[in-house]
Amino acid sequence: MAGKLTELQVKNAKLGAAKYTKAAGHGLTLIVMPDGSKYWRLRYRFGGKARMIAVGRPYPQTTLKQAHAKAAEFRALIEAGIDPADRRRAEKLVERERVANTFGETAEAWHHFRSQAWDEKTAEQARSYLDKDMLSKLRTRPLDAVSPAELGALVAKIEARGAFDVAKKTRQWLKAIYSYARANGWTAADPARDLAAIAQRGPEKQHYAHLQLDELPDFLRALDAYDGSELVLACAKLALWTANRPGVTRTLRWDELDLDAKLWTIRKGREGMKRGYFHLTPLPVQAISMLRNLKRVTGDFDYVFISRNDPSKPLSDGAVAGMFKRIGYHGRQTAHGFRHLVSTALNDRGYEEDWIERQLAHGDPDKIRGTYNKAQYLEPRRRMMQEWADLLDAMRSGKSKVLPMRRALA
Active site residues: 245, 274, 336, 339, 362, 372
Rounded to whole angstroms, how far apart are CA atoms 46 and 79? 10
SS3 assignment, position 255: helix
Residues 6+ apart with CB under 8 A from 280: 263, 264, 265, 266, 376, 378
Rounded to whole angstroms, how far apart are CA atoms 294 and 297? 5
How far does the chain reach from its first CA to its final CA, in angstroms? 57
Least Cα distance to 45 among 88, 81, 98, 69 occurs for 81
Least Cα distance to 133 among 160, 112, 109 occurs for 160
Q: Burial letters for 359-374: b for 16+ Cβ neighbours within 10 Å, e otherwise?
A: bbbeeebeebeeebee
SS3 assignment, position 371: coil
Q: What is the 3-state secondary structure (H, E, C) of 192-245?
A: CCCHHHHCCCCCCCCCCCCCCHHHHHHHHHHHHHCCCCHHHHHHHHHHHHHCCC
Is 350 in contact with 408 (CB distance < 8 Å)?
yes
The β-bridge relationship of strands 38-46 and 49-54 is antiparallel
Is 27 in contact with 75 (CB distance < 8 Å)?
yes
Q: Would you give the DSSP letter of residue 143?
A: G
Per DSSP, the chain holds a count of helices (H) and strands (E) of 16, 7
Is 275 in contact with 364 (CB distance < 8 Å)?
yes
